[in-house]
Amino acid sequence: MKKTIFTGAGVALVTPFNDDFSINYSKLDELVEFHIENGTDAIIACGTTGEASTMSREEHLSVVERVVNRANGRIKVIAGSGSNDTMFAIGTSKGAQALGVDGLLIVTPYYNKTSQKGLIKHYNMIADSVDLPIIMYSVPGRTGVNILPSTCAELAKHPNIVAIKEASGNMAQVTEIASLCGDVLDIYSGCDEITVPIMSVGGIGVISVVSNILPREMHDMCALYLEGKTTEAAKLQFKLYNLCRDMMCDVNPIPVKTAMNLMGMNAGPLRMPLCETTDDKLAAIKNTMAKLSLI
């Protein structure tokens, strides 16, 4: 059985920007402390929610370094290091390893995409290049590439490939992955709104967008389930369902940065081509947040 990186709720951390779109490192420090204080189980830096796609490699690794240094061993730090260019992903992964991260989150290739055979070669090449545990990230709605259950089973043979962040939204697929991969591949929900359903078929937690604003609640939901208090976990899932839904009402991380700014957390602007949400979506976000007494 492979070593688990973390259980519970890891935050897919936003990258705070200043008004001139430069990285707000002091705010980044504050966010790391916020998550440690509020029970978050791991920090995932420079993923989709962290807007890594609009960062240079130097910026990307500087954010990872800042998070690692600020965390100082108090919480697991996982670096997003995926790319649609295998060799670029290898370079970023090696850079993150040198900075002392606890693991890597690697999204499937996007735009140019690849076949299932190509996915196997892509992930194995990256896994061969580092000495870190790797979480594969399947989010076909964004990338156009789905990691099929049979491909997961093949990739799980590599000792460094230990988990998958499953964001297809397809419960039948998640169930099949769990059935095929057993104890050799951990499963994290990549969809906040179905965290408990995914845990019910063997998932061990979530890599969460909503944890940026409600870290304690997301941690508690997972902890309750892992403690066998499944009814209580489900009740918390139901309570947070509308917020989870609204955090995906526009392109991630537009809604969650909007919510954080409404709460006075000063996440800053989004880097283009992402921009502020529409008036109707803003109204919906505000309405849901008000019902939870967040604003």
Q: Is 168 in contact with 146 (CB distance < 8 Å)?
A: yes
Is 165 tagged catalytic? yes
- Indicate whether 102 belongs to any domain: yes
Q: What domain count does the chain have?
A: 1
- Indicate whether 153 belongs to any domain: yes
- pLDDT of 97-112, one tens digit each? 999 999 999 999 999 9
Catalytic residue, candidates 123, 137, 188, 225: 137
- Indicate whether 238 belongs to any domain: no
- Indicate whether 197 belongs to any domain: yes
pLDDT of residue 1: 63
pLDDT of residue 192: 98
pLDDT of residue 182: 85
- Indicate whether 263 belongs to any domain: no
- pLDDT of 219-265, one tens digit each? 999 999 999 999 999 999 999 999 999 999 999 999 999 999 999 99
Residue 173 maps to which CATH number?
3.20.20.70
What would the DSSP string read from start to end of the chain? -PPPS--EEEEE----B-TTS-B-HHHHHHHHHHHHHTT--EEEESSTTTTGGGS-HHHHHHHHHHHHHHHTTSSEEEEE---SSHHHHHHHHHHHHHTT-SEEEEEPP-SS---HHHHHHHHHHHHHH-SS-EEEEE-HHHHS----HHHHHHHTTSTTEEEEEE-S--HHHHHHHHHHHGGGSEEEES-GGGHHHHHHTT--EEEESGGGT-HHHHHHHHHHHHTT-HHHHHHHHHHHHHHHHHTTSSSTTHHHHHHHHHTT-----PPTT--PPPHHHHHHHHHHHHHTT--
> CA 281: distance to chain centroid?
23
Is 137 tagged catalytic? yes
CA–CA gap between residue 127 and residue 130 (Å, rounded): 6
Q: What is the mean pLDDT of the chain?
A: 97
- Indicate whether 17 belongs to any domain: yes
- pLDDT of 119-144, one tens digit each? 999 999 999 999 999 999 999 999 99
- Indicate whether 107 belongs to any domain: yes
Catalytic residue, candidates 165, 188, 225, 257: 165
Q: Domain span at residue 144?
A: 8-227
Q: Is the pLDDT of residue 166 over 70?
A: yes
- Indicate whether 78 belongs to any domain: yes
